[in-house]
Amino acid sequence: MDPLTGCRKWYRPSLNLTDVVGDVNRIIDAKRPDAPFMLVTDGITWTRRESDLSKLVQLQIGGQIARIYTTKMASQFKAELETLRAELKI
């Protein structure tokens, strides 16, 4: 669990960046339909991976990803998690 958010982290130290979209799709397929999926990226490596980022944005537009954040958006992410907790009463 992440101490800042209280959420489970999806972390693979040996992550092969060639299949980020595949990993995201597996998470989407495995999660409950009513569970929002919020994705945090480092924001740096994506400048060289515009095609994958575009696919992730399409998943967000399609509603499979609730929101995509960069690490620089940590305070906004935390605020929106607090709002979500209040809405879901958890």
| 23 part of a folded domain | no
| 62 part of a folded domain | yes
| 11 part of a folded domain | no
| 29 part of a folded domain | no
Confirm if 64 and 28 have CB atoms less than 8 A apart.
yes
| 5 part of a folded domain | no
Domain count, the chain: 1
Provide the pLDDT for residue 16.
Answer: 52
| 78 part of a folded domain | yes
pTM, full prediction: 0.76
Each of the 90 residues of the chain gets a pLDDT tens digit; together they read 555 555 555 555 445 556 889 999 999 999 999 999 999 887 777 777 889 999 999 999 999 999 999 889 999 999 999 999 999 888
Domain that includes residue 70, residue range: 41-90
| 24 part of a folded domain | no
| Inter-CA distances, 10 with 21, 43, 86, Å | 13, 16, 23
Please name the residues in contact with 71: beta carbons below 8 A apart, sequence gap of 6 or more: 40, 41, 42, 43
